Structure 1
Amino acid sequence: MTLATLRAILGGLLVLLGGLLPVAAGRLDRAGIETYFPAPLVVGERDPALPVWPILKQEAGSYAVFAYAFESVDLAPLPGFGGTPPDLLVALAPDGTFRDVKVIAHHEPVFLEGLGSEPLFAFVEQYVGLSARNPIRVGRPNARGSGAAPQGTVDGIAMATASTRVINESILSASLAVARAKLGFGATNLGLKVSARADADEPLTVDALAARGWLRRLTVTNGQADAAFRDAGVEGSDGGPAAAPLADLTFAYLNVPAIGRNLLGSERFAALMRELGPGDHAILVVSHGPENPLGEDFVLGSIPDRLTVSQGGLAVTARDMAIERRSGAPGLPDGPWTLLRVADATGFDPSAAWTLTAKLVRQRGQIFPETITRTFSADYALPAGLFLREAPEAGPSWTDPWRARAPEVCVIALALVGLVPVLARQRGLVADRGRFPRFRLAYLAFTLGFIGWYAQAQLSIITLVGLVRAATVTHDLTFLLYDPPSLLLWAFVLATLLVWGRGTFCGWLCPFGALQELVAWLARPLRIRQVAVPPQLDRTLRQAKYVLLGAILATAAMGSPLADSLSEAEPFKTAITLYFARTLPFVLYAVGLIGLNLFVYKGFCRYLCPLGAGLAVVGRLRFLDWIPRRAECGSPCQFCRVRCRYGAIRVDGRIDYPECFQCMDCITIIHDPGQCVPEVVARRRGRRIAAQPVAAE
């Protein structure tokens, strides 16, 4: 069977499985949801059009929506690095803030038998109290403690940057889908920053502010209150004249200097702006009617339960600022007043219309009185010219890691650009047996230290598992974009596979491979004798990695979790991603493979590595047989074959490219007149011979 036929069969199987296997779906039924929201909360009926459960809370004799609960996998099944989407239970409050976020299930390799799931659980807890109205970015570990905006940033997890960004996108995408359907703000320009213009200032009296509509009034008369409560069988007022005001509120948005400075005075306005800080808003409410909506038992600094600020049909959290209350500008009515603070995280847009609502409360009955409420509202709007609007940064969330990791990507890109001419110019540095070994050791140290341990860009069979699962289940490859250094390396490796084959990655860019070579170099003074593996056994052992590769990809295509277990044959997660900080069995396995390397050079890479097997298969499509050979290679000369530590040169002198790790030793030898035996002999006889590439079998 030819390779092309095999690839066609595998492609057809992936398409077939993609049509047969179900897409990811949530796993919680009503009983499951109730375990996360126990009494006194009540789980309502699941929405027939959207997989969302309303969570209800009793308030004033009736049930109000406390949150909307949903599973992210139902609304935003973004595949993680295990190839399957994480499943997160999200509870979104009616104002767009996160009540709770819990991990239901995940297959992120770095957390499975690695860091453990506890850091992931702690990561999602950071969303509680944040708002889905604003963009939320994943920062570096302890980003918020280092000064990042607490309302727009969550602390990342070391060694799991890409996974946490996928999870962040899953949470936000699912939440916005619910927000569009249930809360009404999902279609707005999220992250828009609106601030009052500092030059929007002019001296205005209270009457002038009222004439412009910048100072508004909400008045509820006795007659209006009586009419509103009549159907409930209770009195709405104390029986005064019908036209007399019962609740009378004067209110205004204060951040605009022409309003705030004229109502409070320059000194108090400046103090208020310092108290607010950037992004927050202040609203003045003065009560000068017989009934004060704040209530007699109102606690300073709390959220008034009888005054509500809303925008776009959604309540906006407005908290009393608990600062000194003194009389305002001449002409401002006397009476108790409050300054309500609206935080930046609420997504409040002062340049758009908003509403102030006052709640009047009455009770019916004496032994077990029933609370009856009625609401009265007044709208408020200011000219757009009083504000500056700063649009959020454009682009999907996967652009964030590209900006954040741009320095790492640039360093790796420069290293790759520098590697190509070294490998391509065989009579350059490669032919210098003095300088080339030092260059190779330095590059391997860079691969291990920077690419592996620092940039966390160790390529792995896990990515191939993710690709298979994406092809058969999610049909989404976006997860690759969240790890820029690895994606850059994958692109380079795939390109060089078509030129040089597997060896460019396995011999130069694999951090674990570099670790093995560097350990072997450091152990040279020990003079450890290499074990000579019998040829027949060697050929049999080399097939093991292909069997392992087939088992991993087949179980991944069938959706079996066994693929994750089989992928642990790679020690990359232990030795590179987690710096050996794992449970003892995994550490012993990785250390054992490094120890094996001292006796059977890169034994893991030659016999067990499933990623190397996959690259070897694709590498058979290379365009060139690029390693030069002489007619004497293999017969009679066996010098290169004996010196090849990978066993990639056959007895007849031909190169076994799928097993070649591109160490370039044989090229150094063949271009060195002092080492190449046929050339040494030819020089003694006074003639020259040329080296030419020889086609592999």
Structure 2
Amino acid sequence: MTIAARCRRAAALILCLAAGVLALLLGASPVHAGVMTQAELARRFPAPLTVGERDAELPIWPLFREGGSGSELAGYVFESGDLAPIPGFSGVPVNLLVAIDPAGRFIGVEVLSQHEPVFQYGLGEAPLFEFVKQYQGVSLKQNIRIETNSRQARQPDAGRVSIDGISRATVSVRIINESVLAAALLVSRRKLGFGAGKGGSSIARVRTDRPETLSFQRLLDDGVLRHLRVTNAQMEKLYAGSDGARLDEEALRQPDAIFIDLYLACVSVPAVARSLLSAASLAKLAPWLEQGDQAILVISSGRHRVPGDDFTRGGIPERLLLRQHQLAIDMRDLDLDLKLVPGLGVPADASLAVFRIPAEAGLDPGAAFDFTVPVTRSKGQFYPERIARELPVSYQIPSRFLIAAAGGASWHDAWQARRLDLLILVCGLVVLALALSRPRKLSGNARRFQWFRGAYLLFTIGFIGYHAQAQLSIVNLTGVIQALASGRSLAFLLHDPLTVALWGFVVVSLLLWGRGTFCGWLCPFGALQECAGKLARLCSLPQWKVSRAMDARLKRLKYVALALILASALTGVAVDTLVELEPFKTAITLNFVRAWPYAAYALALLAISVFIHKFFCRYLCPLGAALALLGRFRLLDWIPRRSECGRPCQTCRHRCDYQAIAPDGKVAYDECFQCMDCVVIHESAQRCAPRLLEIKRARTIPIVSDTGAAP
């Protein structure tokens, strides 16, 4: 084959490999990760603000303001896609950069990425950019109302605030608002002390294992059905002595008439739902509630009904507001036609509505729900003065319907939620440990070994890498170093159970076999490179072997990279930039869906590995360097050797793609990736020269004389 033909084949292979990888990854489950770096945030938040180190527990950065008395906390900045990746109309979450101050007010909101069709192909992005600017100055303690062509003046101390929506983009704007609020509420609870610092698994959960049905009176007595009844006269009394007094003519004419007759119940509690809703209504409601969601049933009659005659179904009610621990929480109408159980003691003409509170809002079922019914009267004709009053309704779910919070250890839920993945990972690690503990038996049949290794590499790429997102990284080590240097807890590690389990196995394997177990079997990007190299060999592409002297020099590069990254982690200088030497985030975590320089770099490394075996792993990987250093404390020299290895036999040395065997036959375990090719050769009667010689000698027929005695 000519050189030109080989080059064409190589180019075609690289293009096919890149297309195949991208097709595989883009079709995989989307896993979002932040795109902001500390340097980029510093550019967006210039002096007098400074951007601190990324938080160890949440993907957020603190903002500090320099003053005469030193630095003070000015707020936090974060990406909504990291904390509340709510899918948009296109199925892809809109990613927003959100900043809030210590009082829970929005410093600003910016759009980082979006794929909403209405903005991509219709209105353009300009209306979206203008929409998110309106969050500046709004407080999380205010209920946010989105209106089209709203002209209401902002009042910082008002309980409600209006934001001007976008015509023809109602759904997208609603989802964006939910993403902004869900992410900001999570940060405010965890970092600003709102909501008693509760979030995640530190809040109670509704029990689903209580099949009881309660009478109407028992519902009222237990407080799971709250009743508010206000007459016109009582409403007028609330306005007495104010500018809103005697403005409601109907109330003055009929003081004993009902202004509002309201019942509230949390029907995400199964016992409450069964007691109030018909069987058909229960079946209708169930598909709309996911784990952690809450649903509020509203039964109302009278003049001031909830949600009101002019309410647009599917929207957020204005006549019923919810707060918990002073934080405003949105409820959205499910637009379901529900029916009550016959015979309940509610007015016959009462209207029904059910409102959903998504789990992302962080509502704690174990704490009080602070409902308010706002009532507004207007005085004046052209520029009317609005006088507001609120009717409070407190709601509390009894403890017998709840599972108590797990003592604030939010990582418990992460381990519980991923128990199936953990089981699969542990089974995979047990299989690998058993196989590696008997290397000669595993390698006794070369064909069987190749099938086992190939299958395990696919398991590493598909399950450990893209599904479980358990790619170990130098970032794991720098995060630990930074936490220890600043005196922070290492509890943040527990929020990623599969990574913790995999690190535990790797530490044990380092003591037994050295770095090769992870680098050769459990690294998804390393397995991806090896598969690319195997595919190249099947296509008869040329393989370039670096000279021994150059190989030795290049292998020092990864130790230099490791030293620079560890130094930057200790000093906090440019660490986010240096760790990008690893392509793991781009290739595995972000599925190559990243800015083109990062994707091009990762693809280039894969392309090089087509011709130079696992180029990145051998010469550039800082994590590999760290594991090589730690692996020097291994207990076993597990690769079997013969006295003839290296003296004179050089078969294994020439076949070692990692160039980890010296001419004298000694194995450099620091550079060994445990591919076990040398063990396969050692056990093969067809490939191992010393064994071939032994077999040949065994087959030698001794010469004897015709007398029967050996000469």
Aligned length: 541
Distance, in Å, in 2 between the alignment partners of 1:483 and 1:453 is 15
Letter in 2 for 1:541: L
Match of 1:466 among 476, 479, 496: 479
Q: Deviation per CA, 1:409-441, whole angstroms, max 9, x where unpaired?
A: 333322221122222213312132342233223
The residue that corresponds to 1:616 in the other structure is: 628
Distance, in Å, in 1 between the alignment partners of 2:345 and 2:681 is 97
Distance, in Å, in 1 between the alignment partners of 2:561 and 2:643 is 37
Q: Is the 8 A contact 2:520 2:526 kept in 1?
A: yes
Match of 2:76 among 67, 71, 77: 71
The residue that corresponds to 1:200 in the other structure is: 214
Distance, in Å, in 2 between the alignment partners of 1:579 and 1:356 is 46
Match of 2:448 among 435, 459, 463: 435
1:174 aligns with 2:188: yes
Report sequence identity in percent: 35
The residue that corresponds to 2:612 in the other structure is: 600
Match of 1:494 among 507, 511, 535: 507
Distance, in Å, in 2 between the alignment partners of 1:433 and 1:564 is 43
Q: What secondary structure, in the 3-state scheme, does the structure 2 residue paired with 1:625 have?
A: coil
The residue that corresponds to 1:642 in the other structure is: 654
Aligned ranges 1:345-384 → 2 under 5 Å:
361=377, 363=379
Q: Deviation per CA, 1:213-264, whole angstroms, max 9, x where unpaired?
A: 9876545759x9689744x589658999x9994776463527699xxxxxxx
Query: Aligned in 2, Cα 1:88/1:557: closer, same or farther, shift over 3 Å?
Result: farther
Higher relative contact order (CA 8 A, sep 6+): 1
Aligned ranges 1:266-277 → 2 under 5 Å:
none
Distance, in Å, in 2 between the alignment partners of 1:269 and 1:542 is 71
Distance, in Å, in 2 between the alignment partners of 1:531 and 1:311 is 65
The residue that corresponds to 1:33 in the other structure is: none
Distance, in Å, in 1 between the alignment partners of 2:470 and 2:493 is 12
Query: Aligned in 2, Cα 1:286/1:548: closer, same or farther, shift over 3 Å?
Result: same
Q: Which runs of 5+ in 1 are unaligned?
A: 1-20, 31-49, 53-69, 79-85, 107-117, 134-149, 156-163, 258-265, 288-292, 688-697
Q: What secondary structure, in the 3-state scheme, does the structure 1 residue paired with 2:472 have?
A: coil
Aligned ranges 1:385-396 → 2 under 5 Å:
389-391=401-403, 394=406, 396=409
Aligned ranges 1:388-537 → 2 under 5 Å:
389-391=401-403, 394=406, 396-473=409-486, 475-524=488-537, 527-528=540-541, 530-537=543-550
Distance, in Å, in 2 between the alignment partners of 1:488 and 1:187 is 21
Deviation at 1:620, TM superposition (A): 0.7
Q: Is the 8 A contact 1:637 1:677 kept in 2?
A: yes
Deviation at 1:555, TM superposition (A): 1.7
Deviation at 1:495, TM superposition (A): 1.3
Deviation at 1:501, TM superposition (A): 0.4
Q: Deviation per CA, 1:278-314, whole angstroms, max 9, x where unpaired?
A: 8322243435xxxxx789x984569897888888888
Distance, in Å, in 2 between the alignment partners of 1:483 and 1:587 is 25
Distance, in Å, in 2 between the alignment partners of 1:583 and 1:227 is 59
Letter in 2 for 1:175: R
The residue that corresponds to 2:670 in the other structure is: 658
Q: What secondary structure, in the 3-state scheme, does the structure 2 residue paired with 1:650 have?
A: coil
The residue that corresponds to 1:572 in the other structure is: 584
Letter in 2 for 1:431: G
Query: Aligned in 2, Cα 1:554/1:169: closer, same or farther, shift over 3 Å?
Result: farther
TM-score, structure 1 as length reference: 0.59
Q: What secondary structure, in the 3-state scheme, does the structure 2 residue paired with 1:280 have?
A: strand
Query: Aligned in 2, Cα 1:619/1:102: closer, same or farther, shift over 3 Å?
Result: farther
Q: Is the 8 A contact 2:561 2:622 kept in 1?
A: yes
Query: Aligned in 2, Cα 1:252/1:417: closer, same or farther, shift over 3 Å?
Result: same
The residue that corresponds to 1:280 in the other structure is: 296
Deviation at 1:497, TM superposition (A): 0.7
**Higher alpha-carbon deviation: 394-403 or 182-191:** 182-191
Q: Is the 8 A contact 1:431 1:669 kept in 2?
A: no
Aligned ranges 1:29-428 → 2 under 5 Å:
71=76, 88-90=98-100, 102=109, 172-175=186-189, 178=192, 180=194, 191-192=205-206, 199-201=213-215, 217-218=229-230, 229-230=240-241, 245=255, 249=259, 251-253=261-263, 279-286=295-302, 299=310, 343-344=356-357, 361=377, 363=379, 389-391=401-403, 394=406, 396-428=409-441
Q: Is the 8 A contact 1:309 1:356 kept in 2?
A: yes
Cα-Cα RMSD: 6.0
The residue that corresponds to 2:62 in the other structure is: 26
Q: Which runs of 5+ in 2 are unaligned?
A: 1-51, 56-60, 67-71, 84-95, 114-124, 143-170, 268-274, 290-294, 700-711
Deviation at 1:611, TM superposition (A): 1.6
The residue that corresponds to 1:114 in the other structure is: none
Distance, in Å, in 2 between the alignment partners of 1:684 and 1:303 is 87
Match of 1:632 among 644, 649, 652: 644
Q: Deviation per CA, 1:319-351, whole angstroms, max 9, x where unpaired?
A: 999999xxx9999999x9876766556969899
Q: Is the 8 A contact 1:641 1:651 kept in 2?
A: yes
The residue that corresponds to 1:542 in the other structure is: 555
Q: Is the 8 A contact 1:23 1:473 kept in 2?
A: no
Deviation at 1:597, TM superposition (A): 3.3
Deviation at 1:607, TM superposition (A): 1.6
Deviation at 1:92, TM superposition (A): 11
Q: Is the 8 A contact 2:374 2:388 kept in 1?
A: no
Q: What secondary structure, in the 3-state scheme, does the structure 2 residue paired with 1:554 have?
A: helix
Q: What secondary structure, in the 3-state scheme, does the structure 1 residue paired with 2:470 have?
A: coil
Deviation at 1:496, TM superposition (A): 0.3
Distance, in Å, in 2 between the alignment partners of 1:509 and 1:341 is 49
The residue that corresponds to 2:680 in the other structure is: 668
Query: Aligned in 2, Cα 1:29/1:560: closer, same or farther, shift over 3 Å?
Result: closer
Query: Aligned in 2, Cα 1:267/1:306: closer, same or farther, shift over 3 Å?
Result: closer
Letter in 1 for 2:449: F
Q: Is the 8 A contact 2:652 2:678 kept in 1?
A: yes
Letter in 1 for 2:298: A
Distance, in Å, in 2 between the alignment partners of 1:353 and 1:587 is 47
Distance, in Å, in 1 between the alignment partners of 2:199 and 2:596 is 50
Q: Deviation per CA, 1:617-643, whole angstroms, max 9, x where unpaired?
A: 111111122222233322233332222
Distance, in Å, in 2 between the alignment partners of 1:408 and 1:284 is 46
Q: Is the 8 A contact 1:215 1:252 kept in 2?
A: yes
Distance, in Å, in 2 between the alignment partners of 1:593 and 1:268 is 60
* Greater C-alpha radius of gyration: 1
Deviation at 1:606, TM superposition (A): 1.9
Distance, in Å, in 2 between the alignment partners of 1:685 and 1:185 is 75
Deviation at 1:271, TM superposition (A): 9.7
Match of 1:559 among 547, 572, 595: 572
Letter in 1 for 2:300: L
Q: Is the 8 A contact 1:502 1:660 kept in 2?
A: yes
Q: Is the 8 A contact 1:281 1:343 kept in 2?
A: no
Distance, in Å, in 2 between the alignment partners of 1:670 and 1:186 is 54
